Amino acid sequence: MFDSSSAIIVGLEVGTSKVCAVVGELTPEGGLSVIGLGQARSRGVRKAEIVDPTAAAEDIRSAIAEAEQMADVEIRSVFLGVSGAHIRGFDNRGRHNIVSADREIASEDVQDVIRNAKAVNLPADHHVIHVVRQHFLVDGQPEVLNPVGMLGAQLEVDVHVVHGITNRLQNPIRTVKDLQLEVEDIVFTGVASSLAVLTTQDKELGSLVIDLGAGATEYVVYANGIIKHTGVLAVGGDHVTNDLAYGLKVSMGRAEELKIEHGAGQVDSSVKSRTISLTSDHGLPERTINLEHLRRIMSLRVTEILEIIAEDLAEAGLLDYLRAGVFLCGGGARIPEIQAVAERVFGLPATLARTQSISGLVATLDQPEFSTGIGLVKFGSFQQDRRRGSNSLGHRLKNTLTQLFQRA
């Protein structure tokens, strides 16, 4: 009975357009199944960062409540997705000299070298979110996956570090904690989405996951099975809406409707000189809008977002590694013809991402919007696995006790 709570994993994404809580359950066989989902329209978030904690807290509460009701569990802790323009990723290398007489690399050496790699020289107000191990180098020989047992004088490891500004990361954590919820870990939403949509094979082949959110667009590059690059662009679907509202001279709400109903990633010849008539609240025709303008404004913005990402990847020299192509997720993946735009911009096959290897409410879950939430649950399940590995009786007892105290 005590152990039941640890089998429940909740991913919470406080996004710009919606707050989404996904409840997953670890089955005894080690599988992961999603048993609950809660959503609420988000009001206190701009560009993927909380600007109104009170409104955000209310939305989080209602999303969590809905998820609790659906899954019929009590949620105590969450894995929280974080994003925002301040988040950056870079590669770092850690070194360690092998001092043992026979020069054989032991697992302690591996731990040491990873610790060295984690000692990143960052400004004081920055906080490291992820340190992802890439490859080991033994005496300069690259691409070593597991150096334990090899002989060498110097062991190095490449890691990918994702970091952000501490205060801005603390904002969502504080908001969640104020609701008497524990934050088990924070996860960069781009990484979470990629966990949800990529198969091991995609990671091996090399792929780019673009999460087109409302407030920000996150992207992650996998190549040879490891994370090579991460980035955030604080431009998203809201910008499209804003452009439309300004360009077509309509309200934000109307612009959002027009975007969803008539938007597309490309301007094709079929829309030339077609118009949409807007109706007022009474159902009377108010004015007409040129569909071609709508599409042009939208396609320029969408193309620009992808172009900026392509530019960044070209600078990092990663475009040639993406043999599995581009995967699009997030609400922006619903834009018609965005695949074609991505294919044109990157010169690579682009697919709409599908959430992989998770059971449960499949029909509901296979939506591009939920990839981050599901990825958070998946991230949580990996953590749980790791924890379970070191699961002695004493550990378990301690966990249970701390949990009890935390709740009190």
Partner 1 sequence: MTQATQTPPSGPAARPAPAIKVIGVGGAGLHAVAHMTEAGLAGVSFAGVHTDARALGHSQLPETLLLGGELTRGLGAGGDPDIGRAAAEAGAEKLRGLCAGADLVVVVAGLGGGTGSGSAPVVAQAVRSNRALVLSLVALPFDFEGARRQQQAALALRQLKTASDAVICLSNQKVAGLIDEKTKFFDALRFSNEMLTQGLRGIWRLVTCTGLINVDFADLCRVVRGRQAESCFATAEAAGENRAREVVAQLMAHPLLDQGRLLGEADAVLVSLAGGADLTLKEVSQVMEQLNRACEGAQVIMGAAVEAAFQDRLAVTLVVTKRNAAPTQGNVAPDLDRPEPEPPAAEFPTSALDLETQHLSRGDVARTPSRFVPPAPSLSPEKVEALLLKQGNGSARQRKQVARMRQGMLPLEVIPKGRFAKSEPTLHHGEDLDTPTYIRRGVALN
Q: Which is nearer to partner 1, 197 or 216 (CB)?
A: 216
Minimum CB–partner distance for residue 333 and partner 1 (Å): 19
Q: Which is nearer to partner 1, 10 or 348 (CB)?
A: 348
Minimum CB–partner distance for residue 226 and partner 1 (Å): 23
Q: Which is nearer to partner 1, 96 or 239 (CB)?
A: 239
Q: Which is nearer to partner 1, 296 or 396 (CB)?
A: 296
Alpha-helical segments (H) within 236-391: 237-248, 252-262, 291-316, 338-346, 362-365, 371-389
Contacts of residue 242, Cβ cutoff 8 Å, sequence gap at least 6: 252, 255
Q: Is 210 exposed, middle or buried (0-12, 13-18, 19+ CB in 10 A)?
A: buried
156 three-class SS: strand
Encode 244-253: b = buried (16+ Cβ within 10 Å), e = exposed: bbebbebeee
Tokens of 389: 């590995």
**Cα–Cα nearest to 97, from 69, 137, 124:** 137
Minimum CB–partner distance for residue 265 and partner 1 (Å): 13
**Cα–Cα nearest to 129, from 43, 191, 171:** 191
Rounded CA-CA distance 190/184 in Å is 18
Q: Which is nearer to partner 1, 136 or 219 (CB)?
A: 219
Minimum CB–partner distance for residue 51 and partner 1 (Å): 7
**Cα–Cα nearest to 189, from 406, 53, 378:** 378
In this structure, how many other beta carbons lie within 10 angstroms of the beta carbon of residue 273? 7
Radius of gyration from C-alpha coordinates of the chain: 23
75 three-class SS: coil
Contact positions vs partner 1 (CB under 8 A): 46-47, 51, 85, 233-235, 238-239, 242-243, 245-247, 252, 290, 293, 296-297, 300-301, 304, 308, 311, 314, 319
Rounded CA-CA distance 136/114 in Å is 10
Assign residue 83 a region (left: φ > 0; alpha: ψ between -120 and 50; beta: otherwise).
Answer: beta
Q: Which residues pair with 227 in a beta bridge?
A: 222
Minimum CB–partner distance for residue 314 and partner 1 (Å): 5
Q: Which is nearer to partner 1, 225 or 247 (CB)?
A: 247
Rounded CA-CA distance 385/342 in Å is 36
Answer whether 22's CB lies under 8 Å from 373's CB. Answer: yes
Minimum CB–partner distance for residue 262 and partner 1 (Å): 15
**Cα–Cα nearest to 14, from 43, 197, 125, 94:** 43
Q: Which is nearer to partner 1, 48 or 71 (CB)?
A: 48
Q: Which is nearer to partner 1, 130 or 239 (CB)?
A: 239
Minimum CB–partner distance for residue 244 and partner 1 (Å): 9
Across the beta sheet with 325-329, the strand order is: 226-233, 217-223, 207-212, 325-329, 350-352
Minimum CB–partner distance for residue 282 and partner 1 (Å): 27
Minimum CB–partner distance for residue 234 and partner 1 (Å): 4
Q: Which is nearer to partner 1, 55 or 308 (CB)?
A: 308
Q: Which is nearer to partner 1, 272 or 386 (CB)?
A: 272
Minimum CB–partner distance for residue 189 and partner 1 (Å): 17
Minimum CB–partner distance for residue 305 and partner 1 (Å): 9
Q: Which is nearer to partner 1, 295 or 378 (CB)?
A: 295
Contacts of residue 154, Cβ cutoff 8 Å, sequence gap at least 6: 95, 96, 97, 98, 138, 139, 140
